[in-house]
Structure 1
Amino acid sequence: MPDVLLASCAEAAGRDEDEPLLVAALAAEGLTASAADWADPTVDWSAATAVVVRSTWDYAPRRDEFLAWARRVEEGTRLANPAAVLAWNTDKRYLRELAGAGVPVVPTAWAEGPGDVDGALSRWPGDVVVKPVVSAGARDTVRFPPERRAGARELAEGILASGRAVMVQPYLARLDAEGETGLVYVGGVYSHAFGKGALLAGEALGPGLFAEETITARTAGPEQRALGDRVLAWVRERTGETPLYARVDLVPGDDGAPQVIEVELTEPSLFLTTDDGAAARFAAAIRSRIG
C-alpha cells in the first residue's frame, strides 16, 4: 500500500493532468502514491498513511454516498480535505455565507422551491446563468439570454425536481474577454494562479465528467491576491481548518473589481502544469501534514 492514496474515480483515470506531476513530486519527498476510485469497495483506505481527495469528479449525483465514504475514511486515517469541510463545500450555498460576511461574491438569487423560480429569474434583465447548488464540472449549468427565460425556468424546475436547490446569477459581460482567474493555495499558503477562458456560450454542456476548458498561466494582481487571502482566512475561521488545498475562483465585476464565483475545497483541478514549482509545493504540504 502506498503512503498516500489519491482519491479519484473510475472515469477520471488518465484524465487528471495534476496526478502524474503530484505522484512524481511526492516521490521526491520520499512518499509513494497512487490513485484509487473512491467508490471501489475493495480499496483499504485505512492502510495508507493519508488519503488526499483529488479527482472524485463523479460525486455530485451521489453526494450522500460520497460524504459517507469520506467519514468512513476519516475514521481510519488522515483525510484531506476533512469530511466536514467536504460536506460544507459540496453545497454552493456556502457562497451565501461568504456574501453575508461582506466578501464580494457574484450576485446570486436562490430558488429552493418552485415558488422561488420566477422571482430569481427576474432579478436581472440580461443574460443569466442557472445552475444547481450541488454540481461538479459545470454540469447542468447554462447561460440564458432574456428571450430564453422559458428555457431557464424549465432547467431550474428540473434541478429542483432532482432534489437540488437552484442558483441564478447575472452573466458578467467582462468574462468573455477576461475569463476567470483561479488562485491556488496549498497548506494555507498561496501557490500560483491560472486563467480560465469563458465557458458558457448559451448552450447546455455535453455529457461527461467536466467541460473542456482553456487554461493558461496567469499572474494574479494585488487586488485579486488580497481577495483570495481574505477568502482563505474566512474559510479557516468558518471551518476551523486550514485546508490542505484550496482554489478561489474570481471573475471581474462590471467595474473590473474581482468577485468570488466559487471556493473549491473538494475536488478541484489545481492546474499544476501552469507553474513549474506547484507540484513540489503541493507535495511538500502533504509531507508536512503526514509528519
Structure 2
Amino acid sequence: MTNHHQPTRGEPRVALATCSALPGLDPDDRLVLAPLAARGVVAEAAIWDDPAVDWSGYDLVVLRSPWDYALRRDEFVAWTQTVPRLVNPADVVRWNTDKRYLAELSAAGVPTVPTVWVEPGQTWTPPADSGEYVVKPAVSAGSQDTGRYDLADPEHRELAVAHVRRLTAAGRVAMVQPYLRAVDTAGETALLFLAGPDGLAFSHAIRKGPMLTGPDRGVAELYKEERIDRRTALPEQLAVAQRALAAVPGGADRLLYARVDLIPGPDGAPVLVELELTEPSLFIGYAAAAADRLAAAITTHLAHRS
C-alpha cells in the first residue's frame, strides 16, 4: 500500500476515507479498486481520524465508510473542512449529517415521512393513536440507536418515551416517525446516482428488506446486516429522487454520489426516508458494471480538479 506521506509521481492518488473498524474498507467499496487501477489511479484506504494521514497529499479524498462519526459529528464535520479536494464537499456533509434536512426537503415539496423533532430539554408525549412509530436520533449512521414501537403495547409506549429521553438527555435531537408498514412487504428502495460528464446520473437500484423488529435497547452497533436484492427503479421513484436532488444546497452537480431511500407511503406513492450524501453504502456489487461506473465518476472528479 502506498505510503500516506509520499505522493506517487505521474499517477493520481485517491483516498477512500473509512473508519478504524474497517481499515481495509467495506467489501463493497473494495470492488472499485481494480477499475481505478485500470485507469491508472492509485487508490487506498485511509482512516478519517488518523493523525498520521496527510490529506493534502491526495488528488481526491472520497468519503466512503467513516461510520463511527455519529457520536462525534462536530469533530467529523470540522475534519471535513480541513480536507482539500473532498467529495462529497464539506458543506454538503454538514447539511446532510443532521437529518433535520428532511424538514427542508419537505418544505421544498419533496414527499417525506412525517417527522416530529424533539430537541434536548424538551419532553415527548406519545400520540394517542395505537400505530407503530420509529424513534431515532437526527444524527446517526446505519440503524444505530433506532427502534420500532407499537404504541398499542403499554410497555412499548414506555420504552419509546425512554428512548427519546435517552437521546435528548445526551444532547441529541430525537426524531419520531410513523412506521411505514409497506416496508414489511415492498421493502425499501435505494436509488443510486453517480457522477458522469453531465452531472449526477442514475446508476442502479436495490431493495432493502425490513430491519427494525422492535425497541432499541441501547446497545450500540456500528451497522446492522441487511437483506439486499436487485430492483428495477420505477418512474415515480425516479421522479421523487430527482426532486430531492434538485433541492440539495449548492446543487447536485457537485456530488460524486447520492443515494435516495424511498418507501411507499399509505397511499402507495413513494416517500423519501433519507437522502444519503455523506457515507452511504453504494451496493455496487449488486449491479453489472456499477464498480466501473463509480471508478469513472471518481476520474471525472479528478479531471475537474486537475
What's the TM-score bracket when you normalise by the shorter of the two chains?
over 0.9
Q: Is the 8 A contact 1:109 1:123 kept in 2?
A: no
- Give the number of the structure whose alpha-carbon radius of gyration is greater: 2
* Bigger shift: residues 197-206 or 187-196: 197-206
Match of 1:271 in 2: 283
Q: Does 1:189 align with 2:201?
A: yes
Match of 1:247 in 2: 259
SS of 1:260's partner is strand
- Percent same amino acid among aligned pairs? 51
| Pairwise CA distance, 1:41 | 0.2
1:61 corresponds to which of 52, 71, 86: 71
1:70 corresponds to which of 54, 75, 80: 80
SS of 2:211's partner is coil
| Pairwise CA distance, 1:233 | 1.6
Q: Is the 8 A contact 2:159 2:215 kept in 1?
A: no
Q: How does 1:109-124 map onto structure 2 within 5 Å?
A: 109-118=116-125, 121-122=126-127
Q: Is the 8 A contact 1:184 1:245 kept in 2?
A: yes
Q: Is the 8 A contact 2:120 2:171 kept in 1?
A: no
Q: Deviations over 1:195-230 (max 9, x none)?
A: 100010114275331011101111111111111122
Aligned pair in 2 of structure 1 residues 269, 149: CA closer, same or farther (>3 Å)? same
Structure 1 Cα separation of the partners of residues 287 and 128 of structure 2: 40
| Pairwise CA distance, 1:264 | 0.3
SS of 1:192's partner is strand
1:177 corresponds to which of 177, 182, 185: 185
SS of 2:247's partner is helix
Q: Is the 8 A contact 2:190 2:259 kept in 1?
A: yes
Q: Is the 8 A contact 1:9 1:57 kept in 2?
A: yes
Q: Which has the higher helix share?
A: 1
SS of 1:58's partner is coil
Match of 1:51 in 2: 61
| Pairwise CA distance, 1:185 | 0.6
1:208 corresponds to which of 212, 216, 221: 221
Aligned pair in 2 of structure 1 residues 124, 244: CA closer, same or farther (>3 Å)? farther
Q: Does 1:262 align with 2:267?
A: no
1:144 corresponds to which of 136, 145, 149: 149
| Pairwise CA distance, 1:13 | 3.1
Q: Deviations over 1:32-69 (max 9, x none)?
A: 10101001000111101110000000011111111111
Aligned pair in 2 of structure 1 residues 15, 38: CA closer, same or farther (>3 Å)? closer
1:230 corresponds to which of 232, 240, 243: 243
| Pairwise CA distance, 1:107 | 1.1
Paired AA for residue 76 in structure 2? F
Q: Does 1:30 align with 2:44?
A: no
Q: How does 1:90-101 map onto structure 2 within 5 Å?
A: 90-101=97-108
Question: Structure 2 stretches of 5 or more lacking a match?
Answer: 1-6
Q: Is the 8 A contact 1:8 1:37 kept in 2?
A: yes
Q: Is the 8 A contact 2:263 2:272 kept in 1?
A: yes
Q: Does 1:220 align with 2:228?
A: no
Q: Is the 8 A contact 1:17 1:273 kept in 2?
A: no
Match of 1:127 in 2: 132
| Pairwise CA distance, 1:26 | 1.0
Q: Is the 8 A contact 1:131 1:166 kept in 2?
A: yes
Q: Does 1:6 align with 2:16?
A: yes
Structure 2 Cα separation of the partners of residues 285 and 15 of structure 1: 19
| Pairwise CA distance, 1:125 | 3.1
Structure 2 Cα separation of the partners of residues 218 and 73 of structure 1: 35
Structure 2 Cα separation of the partners of residues 116 and 123 of structure 1: 16
Structure 1 Cα separation of the partners of residues 129 and 171 of structure 2: 25
Structure 1 Cα separation of the partners of residues 25 and 51 of structure 2: 22
Q: Does 1:106 align with 2:81?
A: no
Match of 2:211 in 1: 199
Count of matched residue pairs: 284
Question: Structure 1 stretches of 5 or more lacking a match?
Answer: none
Q: Is the 8 A contact 1:124 1:170 kept in 2?
A: no
TM superposition score normalised by structure 1:
0.94
Match of 2:4 in 1: none
Paired AA for residue 62 in structure 2? V
Q: Is the 8 A contact 2:264 2:271 kept in 1?
A: yes
